Amino acid sequence: MKIKDLLLNRNSLIFKNALIYFLIIAFTALITAFLIYWFSAEKIKASSKVQMQHTNQLVASTFNSFIANVERDIDFLSNNPIIESFIQASGTKKQDFKTQLSKEFFALLESKPEYAQIRFIANDSIGKEIIRVDKIGTVVQYVSEDKLQAKGDRDYFKEIKNLNEGSKYFSVIDLNKERGGLSYPLTPTFRAAAPLFANKKYCGFVIINVDIRNFLKELKLSIPEDYSFYLFNNEQQFLQHPIDTLSFGFEFNRKTNFNQFVQFYNPVYNQIQDVDQNKTQIINQLHYPRNYYYLYTCIVSERNLYLASFTDWKITILWVTFSTILFSLLIALWLTYKRVRELRQITDSLIHFSKDMNKIPEVEIKRNDEIGELSRSFNDMAIQIHQHVKELNEAKTIAEKANKEKAEFLGKYES
C-alpha cells in the first residue's frame, strides 16, 4: 500500500501517528518560538532602557562641559589684566591696550570654533561697542570703528548693568539677530558676559556670542537613530526637534502641540517613564546659569522603532519554526511509514498463511526491536504450525490408507 493511501486512511497507524507527531512538534516548536521572541523582546526593551539612561547622562555631561568651558573663557576675559589696564589707561596708552585686547579677542575667537563674536561694550548712555571681533564662516576679522554699533536698547545691556562684581550673565538661547532682524544663515546663539569694574565702579562688560549650530548637531549625532531627541526651555519652546522646521519655531510664531511629542506633566527627572504601551521617555533638567530660565532634554524611544530590526528577525523565526515543523514531520512520516510497512508485511504474511498453511511464509525483517522480535516469533510460529499441519496431513493420509485397506478387506470377506 502506498504512503498516500495510508495517509488518506484515517484508521491507518501512519495517519494516527502523523497526526500525533504533528501536534506534538507544532505545539513544541510554536511554544519555543514564542518564548524566544518574548524573552528576546524583553531583553531588547531592557537594553534599550539602559541605553536611554546612558544617552541621557552623555547628553547632560556634554552640555555641562560645553557650558563650563564658556564660563571659564568669560572668567578669563573678565579677569584679564589687559582689560583692567585698558579701562584705567588714557591717551596713547589706552590705544595700545586696546590693540592688545583686540588681539586677545582675536586669538580666543580663532581657537574656539563655536565662538562667533567677542565684544567689549562701554557703560555709556548708548552702550557703544568699543572693541568687536567677528568670525564670518572660518575667517576672524576686526570690526572697524565706523561699523561698531550701539547696544544700549538691548535687554542684555540692561541686565548686565545690574549685576554685581564677579557675576556672570547668560542669555536665553534664541536665533541671532542683527540690526533688529534675524541674521542669515539662521544661527542658534546664546551670549555669555561678565560685568567689568574698576575701583568698585561699573565700567562696561565683555560679552561672547556663542554659535551652537555645530554643538546641536553633535548632540543630535550622539543620539541613537531609533531615539527622538528634544531640547526645550521652561516655556515649552523647542530648541532642538527631530523635525527641523519645529526647532526655534517660536521665532517665527509657529504653533506647536508640545504634548504631542513630550509628556511633561509632573516629570520625574533622570528616570525612565512609560508614556504608553509603545512610547518610553526620559527627561533631564540641564544646568544653565540663568535665573528663571530652565533647559530640558527629552529622549523618546518608541517600541516599534527599537524592535524594528527584531521584527524582521521575528519573521525569520516564524519561517525557521514552520520549516522545522515540516522537516520534522516529514522525518516522522518516513519513520512511521517504514514501521507500518514492516507491520504490513507481517500482517500480509499472516493473511496469506491463514489461507495456505502448506506454504511457509518468511518475513525478512532484520531488526533488534519489538518489530524484529515479532517477525522472528511469527517465522518460528509459522514453521511450527506448518510442521503440525504436515504431521496432521501425514496422519490423515495414513488413516485414509488404513480405512481404504480396511474397506477392501471387508469387501473381500463379504463376497
User: Nearest to residue 224, comparing CAs of 276, 300, 277, 304?
Assistant: 300
HSE, side-chain direction, 13 A CA sphere, residue 174:
15
- How far apart, in Å, are the Cα atoms of 354 and each of 78, 309, 359, 382, 393? 118, 67, 10, 10, 16
Q: Are 196 and 166 in contact (CB under 8 A)?
A: no
DSSP assigned state of 112? -
Axis-axis angle for helices 308-355, 370-414 (nearest 10)? 10
pLDDT (0 to 100) of residue 236? 93
Which residue matches cell numbers 491463514?
354
- Between CA 160 and CA 120, with CA 106 as vertex, the angle to 5 degrees is 25
pLDDT tens, residue by residue, 322-348:
777 777 777 777 777 766 666 666 666
Under 8 Å between Cβ of 170 and 192: yes
**CATH top class, domain 79-208:** alpha beta
- Tell me the chain's radius of gyration from C-alpha atoms: 48
**Which residue stretches of the chain have pLDDT < 70?**
1-18, 41, 44, 304-314, 317, 338-376, 378, 382, 386, 410, 412-415
3-state secondary structure of 397: helix
N-terminal to C-terminal alpha carbon distance within the chain: 64
Local structure of residue 10 (DSSP, 8 states)? T
Q: State residue 240's pLDDT score.
A: 94
Contacts of 151 (CB under 8 A, 6+ apart): 121, 127, 128, 129, 157
pLDDT for 196: 94
Residue 36: which residues within 8 A CB-CB, separation 6 or more? 317
pLDDT at 230: 95
**Strand 177-178 relative to strand 181-182: parallel, antiparallel, unpaired?**
antiparallel
Q: What is the pLDDT of residue 312?
A: 64
d(CA 140, CA 206): 18
Q: pLDDT tens digit string along 380-409?
A: 776 777 677 777 777 778 877 777 777 777
Whether residue 185 is preceded by a cis peptide bond, meaning omega within 30 degrees of 0, is yes
